């Protein structure tokens, strides 16, 4: 649907580890008018060019009221990316400032998980809730918190890097430079790795895999190119493929393990799952629930675990609302 002449619109961009998702939001009802997804590289020049060209394609410049961008990493109060494990080229870069060369409108940058929770607080599952944990499952794992009705930001605005919570001492190597981070076991990007391991070693249990490298270094696993993405594994899981089923169980066991620990710390009334994998939530919801209750205590007080109402677009929608609802964050 083309932008309506003489009206202005909000633009939201969710920059992931491998994809860029851009949405055009109607300011009247906050609905998505247009959306676009493109693959990106980790080159700063390529990323900036992709963002600019996507904005121009989705809306005439003169009709842009504001632009918000969600980025994977630690963004400070000055719109500067301080540390982005998945897009290292962004480190120390102020993307909002750069974009002012092309667009004469308010521009704001925020952590992508914070953007997702903003969307859910305004139009989704976090409405009228005082204690909420947002968890985005993608290339990595992001987090955002509303506690006692307030968005928590933490020192320098760096709260919510839950994907880098250590869960295994001396475990998998993480792109952040540490080992044993939660996202190396539970991010949606791990699903294809589990599949390859179980396909080549079907006798293994989840508990046996504390270092993926021990299994993925084997030549027969490294050379297995029959499965190239977690999306393909998800489709096989829906068809009840045995290796895909075991892979999904393993990933969701680790997801629930981390959620149970976070629940013990922040005691949310709801845990909202976002990220690209959320569109298939109905197919694995029972696994998260079962494993979560197995790891948790006092299940009579367990939070509800739900999919983001804005689905995989939550990050982009929340980004679009950054400049409009900035006083509420």
- pLDDT tens-digit profile of 200-216? 888 999 999 999 988 88
Residue 157 has pLDDT above 80, yes or no: no
**Mean pLDDT value across residues 116-126:** 96
Each residue's pLDDT tens digit, 61-104: 999 999 999 998 888 888 889 888 888 888 888 999 999 999 99
Report the alpha-carbon distance of residue 275 to residue 183 in Å, rounded: 13
Residue 223 has pLDDT above 70, yes or no: no
4: in domain: no
Report the alpha-carbon distance of residue 329 to residue 320 in Å, rounded: 14
Residue 302 has pLDDT above 70, yes or no: yes
Residue 220 is predicted with a pLDDT of: 64
* pLDDT confidence bin for 328, thresholds 50/70/90: low
Each residue's pLDDT tens digit, 20-29: 999 999 999 9
Cβ contacts of residue 231 below 8 Å, gap of 6+? none
- The domain of 287 spans 129-308
The DSSP output letter for 94 is: B
Q: Check: CB of residue 126 under 8 Å from CB of residue 270.
A: yes
CATH of the domain at 94: 3.30.420.40
Chain mean pLDDT for the chain: 91
Domains identified in the chain, total number: 2
Residue 3 has pLDDT above 60, yes or no: no
Question: Within this chain, do residues 137 and 283 fall inside the same structural domain, yes or no?
Answer: yes
Question: Within this chain, do residues 219 and 134 fall inside the same structural domain, yes or no?
Answer: yes
Q: Write b or e for each residue in 212-229: b if 16 or more Cβ atoms lie within 10 A of its Cβ, otherwise e.
A: beebbeeeebeebeebee
Helix axis angle for 230-238 and 191-200, nearest 10°, is 70
DSSP 58-84: HS-GGGEEEEEEEESSEE-TTSBEEE-
Torsion, Cα 201 17 24 3, to 10 degrees, reads -100
**Mean pLDDT value across residues 179-195:** 96
Report the alpha-carbon distance of residue 264 to residue 267 in Å, rounded: 6
Question: Within this chain, do residues 190 and 302 fall inside the same structural domain, yes or no?
Answer: yes
CA-to-CA dists, residue 126 to 196, 241, 296, 307, angstroms: 36, 35, 22, 11
Each residue's pLDDT tens digit, 238-274: 999 999 999 999 999 999 999 999 999 999 999 999 9
Question: Within this chain, do residues 148 and 251 fall inside the same structural domain, yes or no?
Answer: yes
Question: Within this chain, do residues 142 and 192 fall inside the same structural domain, yes or no?
Answer: yes
Question: Within this chain, do residues 145 and 228 fall inside the same structural domain, yes or no?
Answer: yes
């Amino acid at each position: 649907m083309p932008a309506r002449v003489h009206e202005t619109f909000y633009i939201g961009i969710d920059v992931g580890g491998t994809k860029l998702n851009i949405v055009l939001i109607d300011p009247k009802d906050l609905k998505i008018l247009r959306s676009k997804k493109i693959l990106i590289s980790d080159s700063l020049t390529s990323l900036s060019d992709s963002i600019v060209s996507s904005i121009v394609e989705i809306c005439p410049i003169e009709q842009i009221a504001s632009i918000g961008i969600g980025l994977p990493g630690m963004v400070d109060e000055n719109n500067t990316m301080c540390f982005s494990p998945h897009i290292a080229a962004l480190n120390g870069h102020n993307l909002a400032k750069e974009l002012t060369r092309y667009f004469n409108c308010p521009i704001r940058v925020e952590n992508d998980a914070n953007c997702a929770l903003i969307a859910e607080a305004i139009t989704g599952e976090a409405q009228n809730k005082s204690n909420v944990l947002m968890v985005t499952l993608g290339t990595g794992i992001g987090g955002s918190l509303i506690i006692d009705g307030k968005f928590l930001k933490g020192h320098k605005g760096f709260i919510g890097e839950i994907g880098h919570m250590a869960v295994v001492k001396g475990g998998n190597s993480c792109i952040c430079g540490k080992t044993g981070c939660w996202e190396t076991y539970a991010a949606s990007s791990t699903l294809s790795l589990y599949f390859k391991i179980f396909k080549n070693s079907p006798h293994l249990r989840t508990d046996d895999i504390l270092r993926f490298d021990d299994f993925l270094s084997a030549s027969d696993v490294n050379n297995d190119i029959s499965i190239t993405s977690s999306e393909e594994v998800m489709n096989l899981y829906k068809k009840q493929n045995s290796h895909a089923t075991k892979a999904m169980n393993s990933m969701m066991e680790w997801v629930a393990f981390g959620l149970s620990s976070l629940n013990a710390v922040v005691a949310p009334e709801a845990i909202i799952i976002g990220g690209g994998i959320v569109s298939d939530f109905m197919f694995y919801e029972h696994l998260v629930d079962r494993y979560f209750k197995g790891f948790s205590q006092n299940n009579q007080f367990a939070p509800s675990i739900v999919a983001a109402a804005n689905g995989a677009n939550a990050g982009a929608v929340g980004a679009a609302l950054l400049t409009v609802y900035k006083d509420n964050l």
